[in-house]
Amino acid sequence: MSIEVEWARMTAPDLREIAARKGALAILPAGSLEQHGPHPPVITDTASASAASIAAARLVVEGPNPVPVAVLPGLWLGLSEHHLPFGGTISVDYAAYRAILESIVRSLRALGFVRLLIVNGHGGNIDPLAVASRELAVAYDFPIVATTPWFLAPAKIAAIFESDTAPKHACEGETSVMMAIAKDIVKAHKLDEAMQQAPAPVQAPAGFSRFYSFSERAPITGTWGDPRTATAEKGARFLAVQAEALAEAIRDAVLWSRPDPVWRSGRGQETTAGKAE
């Protein structure tokens, strides 16, 4: 019988026991509720992040030196305003998103968990998570690591693609993962329709940042990439690679060192080597 890792499937005493153990880790899948073209469901980013998180947790919870871990329900709110033109999208702004994350961190700390891994499935969350996780780690003296598993082990991920070369949006990769975990809600008969793009998408110059609506990137169908070669078998392989990379990160001591208390009074009078213990 496998060990339960999903927070929502456990009782309060179960979670209390996990939190009391040394190195207790909470994993938060972070996704969105947004359009993914005419074929995968709007919950795609949240579902894929949750699947990768649960698979990774199962890898580290058993065997030698098991990690005490619980995977929270996926956070389905993200920064997705760029997808609003296509419908089906609910978005929050950065202030609201950071406030939600802060409430989660504060709760975890109160419960006894000592670290948080945020596994992100949505491109629009990458920058906000990078800033919020750094700020909150220092403010709460709580190790927080954020990552987007589609960009881990890039050579292994790239080797699975057939029509695309890297993850995009509602592409071969995301469609494959959803076929692996929720095939009944993927509209495979719409894959050809997803490729009917006109006018041509905007190609932004590299090295510059500004707001782009996804209606500029994928003007008609909201699809970026080619999902026509997607399969459930590829989806399972994508998730296996992501889970292995996440499990390795969970066991990496360097990632989980205590945040430097940079705002402490007098911290500017010390070096790292000479700081007081």
Q: Model confidence over 110-163: pLDDT tens digits?
A: 999 999 999 999 999 999 999 999 999 999 999 999 999 999 999 999 999 999
The CATH code of the domain at 7-262 is: 3.40.50.10310
Residue 215, pLDDT score: 92
Q: What is the pLDDT of residues 205-249, one digit of tens each?
A: 899 989 999 999 888 999 999 999 999 999 999 999 999 999 999
Residue 107's contacts (CB-CB under 8 Å, 6 or more residues apart) are none
* Domain definitions of the chain by residue range: 7-262
Q: What is the model's pLDDT at position 183? A: 96
Residues contacting 176, CB < 8 A, separation 6+: 230, 231, 232, 233, 234, 235, 238
Measure the CA–CA gap between 11 and 246, rounded to whole angstroms. Answer: 25
Return d(Cα 216, Cα 237) in angstroms, integer. 31
What ranges make up the beta strands (E) of 128-253?
Answer: 144-147
Q: How confident is the model at residue 274 (pLDDT cuts 50, 70, 90)?
A: low
Q: What is the pLDDT of residue 275?
A: 53
This prediction has a pTM of 0.95
> Alpha-carbon distance 91 to 83, whole Å?
9
